[in-house]
Each structure stands twice: as C-alpha cells, then as structure tokens.
Structure 1
C-alpha cells in the first residue's frame, strides 16, 4: 500500500451508495454519477481497500464524459463478509456488478491488485461484458505474500488513536486504509478482517497467465516502479504475451491511484479517450 499522503483533489466525488444481492451475499457499491448515457468505468479495489478509493479518479473523469462506479468486493467495505473468498466467488460478484451498472453492455473495467486479477479473469470469461481493461500494478503470476494486520487492534478508542496507529506502521495519511475506517459502538474500526484477508490473499496465489492472455480487448497495464507486488520483468512479460497491451510506469509504489493520483487519472483518461466509440475530450483537463 502507499506510504505517502495522497495527492487527491481537494474536493472529490462522494457518490451514491447502493446494494444488491449476488447469490446470498449482499454487496455494496458506490456510483459516482454522470450523464445517464455516459460510458461506464467499473472499478475493483485491492485487498484491504474499498470503493471509496476511486473517488478522486471519478472526480477527474466526470468532466471527460465518463461515469465511474466502484464495488466493495466481498469481505471489504460495506459488503458482506461470507466464508468463501476463492477466485470463482470474486468473479461471480464482479460479473453481477458489471451487469447491474453496465446495463448488460460492455464496460471499461479497472482493477487494482486483487481487483486487477479479478478484472482480467472476468474479461477472459465474459468478453461480452468487458470492452476495455485497465490493470493497476499486479502480475499474472502471483507469489505468496506475508499477511498484514493480524496483530492490529480490533478497535481504537478514538479516531486520533487510529490515525496514530497507522502513522506508527508507516501508513500516515494513506487514504487506502482511511477509506475503510468507521465509528461503531466498540470504537473506531476498519471494515475488514485481517484473518479473512490472509485467506483471500492465499487464494489469489497462482499462475493466471492463461486468463491474462484469454481476452483481446484494449488493455492499459499500469506499474509502480517501486512496487512490492510486481516487478518490471513480470510487467514486460505480460505486455509481450498479450497483444493490445499498453504499459505505463510511474515512479511510485503499489497504489498508483493514491501516490500519484493526478498522473494516474491522466493516464487512464488518455487511454479511455482513445477507445473507439467513446467520448474524446482533452485528457489534459485532468
């Protein structure tokens, strides 16, 4: 995750929260709004994240004619936390989300980390639903990672205590975690369970190269050169084996959308502006 403060716009889209049922799981999402006939960018966050993470991007893209909607994936944000967190479980959720917010037609699908794998795996299975891919800082070959947060307090007596704790762990001002903080009767807590996250991260481990290459839609692959999650060699391999993939690298870590939010939005806007049949606005407006 990012360890430096976000450079997000001072005013960001708040969006309208909605809920829907995917099987027996109640899922939450945030629709950041736009024109009723605007093309849709559906967004999937990474482990420990939530839909709110994409508010700055939505604010940047709305004047360019795009509507951004982001899912709280199972076990995250305001969605249910069922026992199951395997690949097919996430993909069923993402499929139902895209069907709901995309009206049955193809959307542009963005995913960060966990969400990036979910995005390219859904594109491989439902080519009719995904017209373009944006994958942020994740590989096609996922190595095991050390669990994060297992020793974190379950609740903090005040927001100040929570912020001080994040500061002590190197996450001062990191909206990636701040977006999941909320107040309960027990104190301030995060809307995720680190033990559940550890199981989900383990289920993500594997070689998904077959899924990565199975779709043929235009793809933007974004990489943080200082990322802990994926190295330059894997990014280069992914671009080489999948035609139609454009790579943009940034001088930052794993959460490009937080660490360099303006540059991130500009790269996404440029890619979207070049898609056939979509609005062509000046990406420099970001």
Structure 2
C-alpha cells in the first residue's frame, strides 16, 4: 500500500497555528489524533488502508509536529483545538481515531462536543492515567537534547537517557541547518504529560457514540482488567485485544491494526 504523506496544511483556529495532513480522496472524513511525542504523519499507513472509502485527516496537536507550541496542555484544550479544526473544515460529524494521549483527547472531544463525533476508535488509552493503574504516566524528558549534529547522534543521545529504541521519538526529528532537531519542546512535553495525568472516568462515560477500544496485551498504559471495566461501564463499546503487542499497536501489528480500524469504520 502507498503510505506517503501529503504536504501539510495549516489553519489558525483559536489563534494557534495548527498543522494537519489531509490524505484526500472521495471517502467520508475521519480525524486522527496522535499521542505524546508523535505527529500526524504516523497515520499515513492507516490512511492508505482506509482509502478510498475514508478520507483521513491527521492533526499535529499543539506542541507537536509542525503545530505551534506552548500551553495550556489540558485534555480540554487539546479537544477544543480538534473541535475548532473540525468546524473550520466543515467535516462534522465524523469518527475520531486516537492513540494514547490522542485517545484521551478523542473521548474528551466526544464528551464536550457530541454533535461533532460520530464514533470513537481508542488505541490503548484508559480512563485512568495515574498510579496505580499507570505506574509511570510521565516520561522524564526534561534533560533531553533538542538538537544534534545528525539523526544518529540525536538517537544516541535519547538512548543514553534510558530509551532502548528511540525510533518513535526520532519520527519527530527533522533536518535543521547542519544538524537535526526534535520538533517538540521537552518542557512542553513535561507540562503536557502532567496536565493529562489523572482520573478521566467522567470524560469516558460522558459520551454515548459507538466506540472501539483497542488494547495491547503487554501495554504499560492499559491493563486488561481496566480495558474490560471501560467496556462494561460505557454502553456501545467493542473491545479488541491484540496479543503480543505493547502500547504502539499500529507499529507492533500494523496490518492487524489497520484491518481492525477499517472493518469497524466500514460497518458503522
């Protein structure tokens, strides 16, 4: 499948410049929201798998990718950004796909603006993001480098901070003059992680649209027991578990992930 990304588009809803990728096509629109440290282009393989039946639009959330940085970084602020983009593009109501923090933003958006959200696909994000459910909800990136002489050197510097495989973070690195830099600011990411830590049951339970919850067997963010509780407490939720996968289902089992999302959206 072709997983190339289109050129970024920009809008300034709510006074903040936001970047997004519109993969185009004749299909019904779907909004995709990445997790912490991510960016919109990670959804290129899913966009290819959904086409032509669905037109994927992936947002670089505030402080990520090519979007403007700076807080506040609460789930409600992230959701308000997504709502403003949906309204500006005139694509409501539509399904919203979200991974990790993006999943929190997706169901916060459905809670705050139910008229905009037709369905949810939540990839490995719980209704509680704090101990003991999530042992370490904040990854300390406060001393991470923001620039190095090469992509490889930047990866080595991140690995030296205790990250054995920095590939996910390096996807948010780009050439910068004679070196490479991270697109996200570590201070922003620390603020954002802290702001989205907490008990989010009220947001999860506040919406009633259909929802698909995807859970990785070896996830450090979402336990099997919590995934089952989320399914039991909110009507209209389908739970799909991915064996031998961790938190990044779309990387650990990309074909199974894309097939599951496509099947769900095709049958709404």
Contact 1:133–1:220 (Cα < 8 Å) also in 2:
yes
- The TM-score, its normalising length taken from structure 2, stands at 0.91
- The match for 2:240 among 234, 243, 248 is 248
Structure 1 equivalent of residue 171 of structure 2? 179
CA distance in 2, matches of 1:259, 1:104: 31
CA distance in 2, matches of 1:217, 1:89: 21
Contact 1:17–1:29 (Cα < 8 Å) also in 2:
yes
Structure 1 unaligned spans of 5+:
1-8, 276-286
Structure 2 unaligned spans of 5+:
131-135
2:65 is the counterpart of 1:77: yes
Structure 1 equivalent of residue 97 of structure 2? 110
SS in 1 for 2:148: coil
Structure 2 equivalent of residue 262 of structure 1? 255
What whole-Å deviation, never above 9, does each CA across 1:16-40 have from its counterpart, x for those lacking one? 31111122211100111111xx211
Residue 105 of structure 1: how far off its partner (Å): 2.5
2:46 is the counterpart of 1:52: no
Contact 2:151–2:170 (Cα < 8 Å) also in 1:
no
Contact 2:93–2:117 (Cα < 8 Å) also in 1:
yes
Structure 1 equivalent of residue 3 of structure 2? 12
CA distance in 1, matches of 2:222, 2:16: 31
Contact 1:106–1:130 (Cα < 8 Å) also in 2:
yes
Contact 2:31–2:56 (Cα < 8 Å) also in 1:
yes
SS in 2 for 1:220: strand
Structure 2 equivalent of residue 127 of structure 1? 114
Structure 2 equivalent of residue 93 of structure 1? 81
